[in-house]
Amino acid sequence: MEKPIIKVAVNVFVIKDNKILLGKRKHVKSDGFWGLPGGHLESMESLIGGAKRELEEETGLTANLIFESIVNDPLSEDNTHYVHINFLADEVEGEPRIMEPNKCYEWRWFLLSELPLNLFLGHRDTIKTFLNKEGFADFINGVRQ
């Protein structure tokens, strides 16, 4: 039996005026759902380097990044297991643009208190951890351990 692969994701929280930047996913898993800027860590890449790369590739933004949290998030719902390494963007430069029109319909600011119901499954627990101001969270199928 083949061992499942545990993937590492790097995500960025871009916050401005008590609002969070989320992208509406397009032609990828969970099309039409809202998620953070971020993606897979590449081989031989630093965590912060990967997060900066993903932020710029997806939004055109550049920023200093501050470590935010680690979230272990295996989900039987979609048979994935990700460890999310999350950063908070500081000193953000630029305005969000759709840099990957084949993967993103739009970028939109949401009040932290009024997030969309259709959050990307892979980011739900990560965003929950951020809102609770926790630096670490260990979930199994959406249930905190």
Read off the pLDDT of residues 69-105 as tens digits, 9 standing for 90 and up: 999 998 877 788 999 999 999 999 999 999 999 999 9
pLDDT of residue 1: 62
At residue 44, the pLDDT reads 97
User: Are 94 and 61 within 8 A, CB to CB?
Assistant: yes
Q: 21-48: string of b/e by CB count within 10 Å (b at 16+)?
A: bbbbbeeeebeebbbbbbbebeeeeebe
Q: Are 58 and 31 in contact (CB under 8 A)?
A: no
pLDDT at 3: 77
- For residue 4, pLDDT over 90 is answered with no
Burial (CB count within 10 angstroms: exposed 0-12, middle 13-18, buried 19+), residue 87: buried
pLDDT (mean) for 4-20: 95
Using CA atoms, how far apart are residues 22 and 9, in angstroms rounded to an integer? 16
| pTM given for the model | 0.94
Distance CA(25)–CA(98), nearest Å, equals 11
Compute the average pLDDT of residues 134-145. 88
So what's the pLDDT on residue 91? 97
Give the span between the Cα atoms of 24 and 107, in whole angstroms.
Answer: 6
**CATH code of domain 7-144:** 3.90.79.10
User: DSSP label at 20?
Assistant: E
Residue 39 structure tokens: 């993606």
Task: Give the pLDDT score at 79.
Answer: 82
List the domain boundaries for the chain. Answer: 7-144
- Condensed to tens digits (0 to 9), the pLDDT of residues 17-76 reads 999 999 999 998 889 999 999 999 999 999 999 999 999 999 999 999 999 999 999 887
Residues 33 and 55: their CA atoms lie apart, in Å, by 18
